[in-house]
Amino acid sequence: MNSMVEKIRKMFYMNSCISVLDNKQVLVENCKSLLECNEILVRIVAAGYIVEVWGRGLTTNNYSSGSVMVKGEIQSVSVTKRGERK
The CATH number that domain 16-81 falls under is 2.60.40.2000
What residue segments make up the domains of the chain, in order of their start?
16-81
* pTM score of the predicted model: 0.79
Residue type, 15: N
Per-residue confidence (pLDDT) for residue 28, from 0 to 100: 92
DSSP label of 63: G
- Report the alpha-carbon distance of residue 42 to residue 57 in Å, rounded: 11
Closest C-alpha among 59, 79, 77 to residue 69 = 59
Q: What is the pLDDT of residues 45-73, one digit of tens each?
A: 988 889 999 999 999 987 667 889 999 99
- Report the alpha-carbon distance of residue 79 to residue 86 in Å, rounded: 11
pLDDT bracket for residue 25 (50, 70, 90) = very high
